[in-house]
Amino acid sequence: MTSPALLILEDGSRFRGDSIGVPGRVVGEAVFNTAMTGYQEILSDPSYCRQIITLTYPHIGNVGTNPQDDEAARVHASGLVVRDVPATFNSWRAAGGLREMLHTQKVVAMSGIDTRRLTRILRDKGAQNACLVAADTGSAIDEEAALAAARAFPGLEGMDLAREVSTRQNYDWDEGTWRLDGGYEALALERRPLRVVAYDFGVKRNILRILSEGGCQLTVVPATTSSEDVLALSPDGIFLSNGPGDPEPCDYAIGAVR
């Protein structure tokens, strides 16, 4: 038996479907992504913090999930909306299914809606504040409370999300890009002669892998690290990652770069 789920936008548009994650209520900015693959990487991308992602490709979950492909240590998206999750998945690299990942990571998610209609709304009106609710089996959803929650969400403008998703302490990164015969492997120091400090404002693991493959010996530092602390590491170069939210409140980062 499926459990009901609801996505409601601040303009009052309502989409009713089935829960595929954990019960709960989340609010965030509703956005869409047109990628045909990479749903696991999208969910774990820190750039999607405080966003409810709609995937426009109709069948999501075909190849399952595996821990190697996560872009961060956890899912950062507030919620997930898809058209359909296939009953089975198939990939020689799969360690589990999408539903299993959503439950393990405690993600509120839904399927069974017309994602084409939702995408058209977001395309024409832009990203909207939204509320995604997944009820327990047999429970009803208070739609008006969900609408009020969507309208009460302040939006991403002015939110310092870089500080929220950034690492809390320095760490070194030595993993290179994926190889068929070995997966992700640590690269020897002699292959990485350039000492580079990477500011983590929401960095994806694959960016670090590419830098490492390109010859960089990486030290990843928190978003709030001072310029003095970075220069004390005597780097050959400094990398500023991308990240979520509004850059304007990140005055600590702006000051460090200057």
Map residue 132 onto helix, strand or coil.
strand
From the options 3.40.367.20, 3.90.226.10, 3.40.1190.20, 3.40.50.880, give the CATH code of 163-257. Answer: 3.40.50.880
Q: What percent of the chain has pLDDT over 90?
A: 93
| Band of residue 1 on the pLDDT scale cut at 50, 70, 90 | low
Distances from the Cα of 228 to the Cαs of 72, 176, 198, 234, in angstroms?
A: 27, 29, 14, 10
Q: What value does the mean pLDDT take over residues 128-148?
A: 94
Contact 219, 172 (CB under 8 A): yes
Q: What value does the mean pLDDT take over residues 191-212?
A: 97
| Band of residue 24 on the pLDDT scale cut at 50, 70, 90 | very high
| Band of residue 138 on the pLDDT scale cut at 50, 70, 90 | confident
pLDDT of residue 208: 98
Map residue 14 onto helix, strand or coil.
strand
In this prediction the pTM is 0.93
DSSP string, 51-64: EEEEE-SSB--TT-
Q: What is the DSSP letter of 136?
A: P
DSSP string, 31-93: EEE--SS-HHHHHH-GGGBTEEEEE-SSB--TT-B-GGG-SSSS--BSEEE-SB--S----TT
pLDDT in tens, 154-193: 999 999 999 999 999 999 999 999 988 888 999 998 999 9
Q: Which parts of 114-257 fold into alpha helices (H)?
A: 115-125, 143-152, 161-165, 205-213, 227-231, 251-257
pLDDT of residue 38: 96
Structure tokens at 163: 């500080």
Query: Distance between CA atoms of 70 and 96, rounded to whole angstroms?
Result: 13
pLDDT in tens, 225-246: 999 999 999 999 999 999 999 9
Where exactly are the structural domains of the chain?
4-155, 163-257
CB burial of residue 203 (10 Å; 0-12, 13-18, 19+): buried
Q: What is the amino acid identity at position 43?
A: L
Mean pLDDT of the chain: 96
Q: Which has more pLDDT, 110 or 2?
A: 110
Domain 4-155 CATH class label:
alpha beta
Distances from the Cα of 251 to the Cαs of 93, 96, 159, 195, 223, in angstroms?
A: 42, 41, 12, 26, 11
Q: Which residues contact 8 (CB under 8 A, 6 or more apart)?
A: 14, 15, 130, 131, 133, 143, 146, 147, 150
Nearest to 60 by CA among 103, 7, 17, 110: 110
Query: Distance between CA atoms of 4 and 17, rounded to whole angstroms?
Result: 6
Map residue 6 onto helix, strand or coil.
strand
Query: Cα 137–84–27 angle (5° rounding)?
Result: 60
Q: What value does the mean pLDDT take over residues 56-73?
A: 96
